[in-house]
Amino acid sequence: MATSAQQPAWHERLYSDGWRAGSGGVAEIRAPGSGAALGSIALATPADLDAAVASATAAQREWARRPYSERATVMLRAAQLLGEHPERLTDLLVPESGSGKGKAGFETGLVVSELQEAAALASHPYGEMLRSVKNRTSLARRVPLGVVGVISPFNFPAILAMRSVAPALALGNAVILKPDPRTALSGGLVLAELFEEAGLPSGVLHVLPGGGDLGAALVEHPAVPCISFTGSTAAGRRIGEAAAPLLKRVHLELGGNNAMLVLPDADVEAAASVGAWGSFLHQGQICMTTGRHLVHRSMADEYIAALAEKARGIPVGDPRDGLPLGPIIDEGQRDRVHSWVSSAVEHGASVVTGGEYDGLYYRPTVLDGVAPDNPAWTEEIFGPVAPVQVYDDVDEAVDIINASDYGLSVSIITSDAYGAYLLADRIESGAVHINDATVDDEAVVPFGGIKASGVGGRFGGPQANLDTFTNTQWVTMQHEPERYPF
């Protein structure tokens, strides 16, 4: 993992045609919970981006010409390296992103799965024979886009980068990855180190840490035909606006305000367990976090009491000590979370438990009496907060769910799974999980949202990745030139 006993490869470096200094200076990465220094990285500028795009454009042509088996071998080797030594990623995810050790291990496993699926994707059929009115061969085939720009967030930094990077590379593209600067190690530079060790040719992948100015330059770069972005809906709207005049392909996986519907036949204790996991995992800093708990009036008091009891029992503190809930990523985000809670109370809600913090450690919070127009109900909080609202009949509950601008993930808890499956036809959401949490993802599924939760291609599964990271080219071939009247 390190080039010497003293410094890792990424120390004061970025990854672009090997490890080198950036022209934007050096930044220190610190653990949000303890403030401990984790290392220093180089920051990229638009000038570094221009050089990286030129290099990637040239390298991509050779990479795409290589046999698919060579691309698959690189993916499999990277998966093997990480699978044998998961600590090379988990040991950074815990302090850098504030991940609990369980979450870090789960995320690392997802990265391994993503690499394995990408290896299989490289050999997947990539075209189809078409019928033609002429006596000729007619086919549609998938061809690489060229250079794919990936902008990834801080919360699940490794998997939310790799789910774009791995399939894009496997299909013959080059990639420019701009990780969130707060998690540039686990979300970028360690992944570059992994691919380099796995044999990825120089120039095919570039990892450029930087801020919003670098992200904007990547979106607007004329030689980057595709942007894959995961982040907030507000940022996604800006990216869409900037890319539209360029007629650039944009894939946006955005925020969510995900509902968990507890039907009156549900087991309350089981529902509270699912609800606590959905709202409090990784401090609620997940696009799929359960941000709305819809509970039938007949069981509301029992459910709220059970959920609050689970919230009170979750230890919060430094994840390096094995505690399951770590810090909010920074003070700005913590203050935003607390402002939502304070605003909820001002609008008539009550804090059943939580609503307090120590430094960046925010207690799991349960809010009761949350009205439909309460900002804590209508907006994405992105923190460990569980707002609860009571409903009287299922039709009302479905209307409440669908009233949201978001449409990423919905959970239904019930003893009648098939009835919930039929109910899912009426729910506007990219995913519906029956008797499971809103937080769920696998490398093999086409993941994505609708409405304000996303637009463009989906992530995961062979067909979705082909749609997202390739173009369709129509090719015809006949034995002799066609004879025309002029």
**Residue 92 Cα distances to 44, 89, 190, angstroms:** 21, 5, 9
Residue whose C-alpha is closest to residue 209's, from 20, 423, 447: 20
Per-residue pLDDT of the chain (486 residues; tens, 9 = 90+): 444 456 899 999 999 999 999 999 999 999 998 999 999 999 999 999 999 999 999 999 999 999 999 999 999 999 999 999 999 999 999 999 999 999 999 999 999 999 999 999 999 999 999 999 999 999 999 999 999 999 999 999 999 999 999 999 999 999 999 999 999 999 999 999 999 999 999 999 999 999 999 999 999 999 999 999 999 999 999 999 999 999 999 999 999 999 999 999 999 999 999 999 999 999 999 999 999 999 999 999 999 999 999 999 999 999 999 999 999 999 999 999 999 999 999 999 999 999 999 999 999 999 999 999 999 999 999 999 999 999 999 999 999 999 999 999 999 999 999 999 999 999 999 999 999 999 999 999 999 999 999 999 899 999 999 999 999 999 999 999 999 999
**Residue 476: inside a domain, yes or no?**
no
62 phi and psi, to 5 degrees? -70, -40
Let me know whether 248 and 272 are in one domain.
Answer: no
Let me know whether 339 and 199 are in one domain.
Answer: no
Cβ atoms of residues 236 and 252 within 8 Å: yes
**Residue 37: inside a domain, yes or no?**
yes
Let me know whether 225 and 248 are in one domain.
Answer: yes
Answer with the one of 419, 434, 449 that is the final residue of a domain: 434
**Which residues have a Cβ under 8 Å from the Cβ of 85 and sit 6 or more positions away?**
1
Terminal Cα-to-Cα distance of the chain (whole angstroms): 66
**Residue 315: inside a domain, yes or no?**
yes
Taking the CB of residue 444, how many other CB atoms lie within 10 A of it? 14
**Residue 448: inside a domain, yes or no?**
no
Answer with the one of 224, 254, 284 that is the final residue of a domain: 254
Let me know whether 294 and 172 are in one domain.
Answer: no
**CA–CA dist 448, 453 (Å, integer):** 8
**Residue 96: inside a domain, yes or no?**
yes
Which domain does 175 fall in, by range? 14-254
Let me know whether 92 and 126 are in one domain.
Answer: yes
**CA–CA dist 205, 74 (Å, integer):** 12
Let me know whether 238 and 287 are in one domain.
Answer: no
pTM for this one? 0.96
Rg (CA), the chain: 24
Cβ atoms of residues 183 and 208 within 8 Å: no
Instruction: Give me the number of domains the chain comprises.
Output: 2
Q: Which residues are catalytic?
A: 253, 287
**Residue 102: inside a domain, yes or no?**
yes
| Residue 7 pLDDT | 82
Let me know whether 160 and 304 are in one domain.
Answer: no
Long-range CB contact pairs, 474-483, < 8 A, 24+: 474/130, 474/138, 474/139, 474/140, 475/138, 475/139, 475/140, 475/141, 476/132, 476/134, 476/136, 476/137, 476/138, 476/139, 477/136, 477/137, 478/134, 478/135, 478/136, 478/137, 482/134
Let me know whether 119 and 246 are in one domain.
Answer: yes
Q: What is the CATH number of the domain that holds 361?
A: 3.40.309.10
Let me know whether 25 and 151 are in one domain.
Answer: yes
Let me know whether 184 and 127 are in one domain.
Answer: yes
Let me know whether 276 and 385 are in one domain.
Answer: yes
**C-alpha dihedral sign at 78, 81, 84, 89:** negative
Helix, coil or strand: residue 287: coil
Helix, coil or strand: residue 386: strand
**CA–CA dist 1, 125 (Å, integer):** 35
Answer with the one of 434, 450, 466 that is the final residue of a domain: 434
**Residue 83: inside a domain, yes or no?**
yes
Beta bridge partners of 116: none
**Residue 324: inside a domain, yes or no?**
yes
Let me know whether 250 and 262 are in one domain.
Answer: no
Q: What is the CATH number of the domain that holds 207?
A: 3.40.605.10
| Residue 4 pLDDT | 42
